[in-house]
Amino acid sequence: MQFEYSKITVQLEDNVAIATLNRAAKRNALDEDFIIQIEALFRQISDSEIKAVVLAANGKDFCAGLDLIEHHRQDRSAEEFMLVCRKWHKAFEAMQYSGVPVVAALKGAVVGGGLELAAAAHIRIADNSTYFALPEGQRGIFTGGGATVRVARLVGESRMMDMMLTGRIYKRQEAVDVGLCQYFDDSEDSLPKALEIAKKAAENPPLSNFAITSGISHIANMPSTDAFFAEAFIAGITNTQEASKARLAAFANKSAPKIKSS
């Protein structure tokens, strides 16, 4: 499989792809071209045999958000920037709804649009260097890459408003406690842990992972009556798949591992 992206390198470890943001000199700031490449990559992954993705970054920072220099230089009109935001939405939706689990290995700055990107991943892992912030208020701008939905869901609206109004920074265990990430890895590099988790997720049947990542994401957008209806259909398809029959048979004949805490 060929991956031809100038701003993202892709390395395969069996059926797990490590997609690495590759604009370290600019702290992986997201210009228009970068956003187009993110969308193309996740559309390609969605049509591939890849079973899980680690989203990593070159350099010391995961992503410094919107390319502020490009935005400043282009002096965009309201309409132009609205269309830029729609491209961000499409790209991050391609990632969230690809059907393939995405594990973000976070480091350094995960700020502004960088947090919007991370929020579209299904699992987020921070290390000792990682910090989360929404500096839009200080820059005199607003989020435009999905944070009002995804970050607000992760941390709640009040906390998001505080982050945007005051520039408050979260890191380490506190970032887990408020919901910005699921894991704090007390190390200098979240990548090994992210890879371990991605490989574990890749062991699940692909249809189960599709249901878990896309199904839960779609259901979150629905009123509960519709959500229950959709859940029944997802379970109807997933819980009767061939792969589930084999795994249930293994449980019935006592060859499957039990779920125990130690």
Q: Is 64 in the site for ligand 1HE (CB under 6 A)?
A: yes
User: In what order do the strands lie in the sheet containing 109-111?
Assistant: 109-111, 131-133, 170-171
Rounded CA gap, 35 and 29, in Å?
10
Sole window of 39-47, 133-141, 190-198, 245-253 interacting with ligand 1HE (rule: CB under 6 A): 133-141
Amino acid, single-letter form, for residue 54:
V
**C-alpha angle 14/18/22, rounded to 5°?**
150
Rounded CA gap, 5 and 106, in Å?
21
Rounded CA gap, 33 and 35, in Å?
5
Sole window of 141-149, 181-189, 192-200, 218-226 interacting with ligand 1HE (rule: CB under 6 A): 141-149
Among 16, 17, 91, 109, binds ligand 1HE (CB under 6 A): 109
Encoding tokens for residue 211?
Answer: 């249901």
Q: Give catalytic residues, as residue numbers.
A: 116, 136
CB of 59 to ligand 1HE, least distance (A): 9
Scan residues 16-55 and list those touching ligand 1HE (CB under 6 A). Answer: 26-27, 29
Q: Is 61 in the site for ligand 1HE (CB under 6 A)?
A: yes
Sole window of 4-12, 49-57, 107-115, 238-246 interacting with ligand 1HE (rule: CB under 6 A): 107-115
Rounded CA gap, 43 and 45, in Å?
5
β-partners of residue 109 are 131
Q: Is 111 in the site for ligand 1HE (CB under 6 A)?
A: yes
Residues that bind ligand 1HE (CB under 6 A): 26-27, 29, 61, 64-69, 85, 88, 109, 111-113, 135-136, 139, 141, 143-145
